[in-house]
Chains A and B, each alone.
Chain A
Amino acid sequence: MRGTPTVADPVPLLIMGAGPAGLAAAQEAVAAGVGALLLDEQPTGGGQIYRSLGEASGERQKTLGADYAAGAPLLGVLSDQGLDHQPGATVWEVTPEGSVYYTREGQARAVSAEQLILCSGALERPMPFPGWTLPGVMTCGAAQILLKGAGVFPARGAVLAGSGPLLLLLAKQLIGAGARLVAVVDTTPADNYRAALMHLPKALRTPGYLLKGLSMIRTLSASGVPWYRGASGLEAIGDDAVAALRFKVRGRQHEVVCGNLFLHQGVVPNVQLSRSLGLEHRWDQLQRCWRPSLDDWGASDLERVAVAGDGAGIMGARAAEAHGRLAALGALKRLGVLSENERDRRAAGPRGVYRREILPRPFLDRLYQPHPDYLHPADDTIVCRCEEVTAGQIRKYVELGCLGPNQAKAFGRSGMGPCQGRVCGLSVSEIIAQARGVPLEEVGYYRIRPPIKPVTLGELATLEQPEDA
Chain B
Amino acid sequence: MARPSYDVIVVGAGLHGLSCALNLAREGLKVVALDKDHPGRHASGVNAGGVRRLGRHEAELPLSVAALEIWHRIEQEVGDSCGFVACDQIKVAENLSEAEALQARVQRLRQLGYDHEQWIDEDELKRRVPAVAGHCVGALLCAGDGSANPFRTVMAFRRAALSAGVEIRENCPVQALRAAGSGWRVDTPDGPVDGGAVVNCAGAWGNNIARALGEPVPVTAAALMLMITERLAPFLSPVLGAAGRTLSFKQFDNGTLLIGGGHRGTAQPECNRSRVRFAGLRISAQTVGALFPQLADVRVVRSWAGLEGMMPDHIPVIGPSGRAEGVYHAFGFCGHGFQLAPITGRIMADLLVRGQSSLPIEAFRIQRFAGIADTAAVDTPEQRISA
Contact = CB atoms under 8 A, between A and B. Distances in A.
A101 interface: yes
Question: Which 9 A/B pairs are nearest by Cβ-Cβ distance?
Answer: A458-B296, A460-B285, A454-B299, A466-B279, A461-B285, A461-B286, A457-B285, A463-B282, A410-B151
A451 B302 CA distance: 6
Contacts of A463: 278-279, 282, 285
B289 A458 contact: yes
Given A413-B254, A416-B302, A456-B296, A93 B288 contact: no
A456 B299 CA distance: 4
A393 B211 CA distance: 47
A456 B301 contact: no
B180 interface: no
Contact of B230 (A418, A449, A450): A418
Contacts of A449: 276, 302-304
A469 B295 CA distance: 24
A463 B133 CA distance: 22
Most chain A CB neighbours (cut-off 10 Å) among B284, B286, B300: B300
Contacts of A110: 278
A467 to B, nearest CB: 6
Contacts of A93: 278
B298 interface: yes
12 contacts: A110-B278, A413-B254, A416-B302, A450-B303, A451-B300, A451-B301, A454-B300, A457-B229, A458-B297, A460-B300, A461-B289, A461-B296
A240 interface: no
A450 B279 CA distance: 13
A219 to B, nearest CB: 43
A451 B259 CA distance: 14
B288 A457 contact: yes
B187 to A, nearest CB: 28
Contacts of B277: 466-468
A460 B281 contact: yes
Interface in A437-469: 449-451, 454-458, 460-461, 463, 466-469
A81 interface: no
Contacts of A457: 229, 285, 288-289, 295-300
B26 interface: no
A95 interface: yes
B126 interface: no
Given A457-B295, A458-B289, A468-B277, A420 B282 contact: no
Contacts of B304: 449
A417 interface: yes
Nearest to B152: A410
A451 B277 CA distance: 11
Interface residues of A, number: 25
Contacts, number: 81
A57 to B, nearest CB: 37
Contacts of A410: 151-152, 155
A416 B230 CA distance: 9
A350 B259 CA distance: 48
Contacts of B284: 460
Contact of B301 (A95, A418, A468): A418
Nearest to A278: B273
B282 A460 contact: yes
Interface in B214-245: 228-230
B72 interface: no
Nearest to B151: A410
Contacts of A455: 299-300
B105 interface: no
B384 interface: no
B143 to A, nearest CB: 28
A455 to B, nearest CB: 6
Contacts of B230: 417-418, 454
B282 A461 contact: yes
A469 B296 contact: no
Interface string B268-279: 000000011111
Contact of A420 (B275, B297, B301): B301
B278 A467 contact: yes
Contacts of A461: 282, 285-286, 288-289, 296
Interface in A120-167: none
A108 to B, nearest CB: 9
Contact of A456 (B276, B278, B300): B300
A460 B278 contact: yes
A469 B277 CA distance: 11
A416 B282 contact: no
B275 A95 contact: yes
Interface string A409-443: 01001001110100000000000000000000000
A466 B289 contact: no
Contacts of B298: 456-457
A460 B287 CA distance: 11
Nearest to B296: A458
A34 B39 CA distance: 50
Nearest to A451: B300
A122 B144 CA distance: 50
Contacts of B297: 456-458
Interface in B85-132: none
A219 B296 CA distance: 52
A101 B276 CA distance: 13
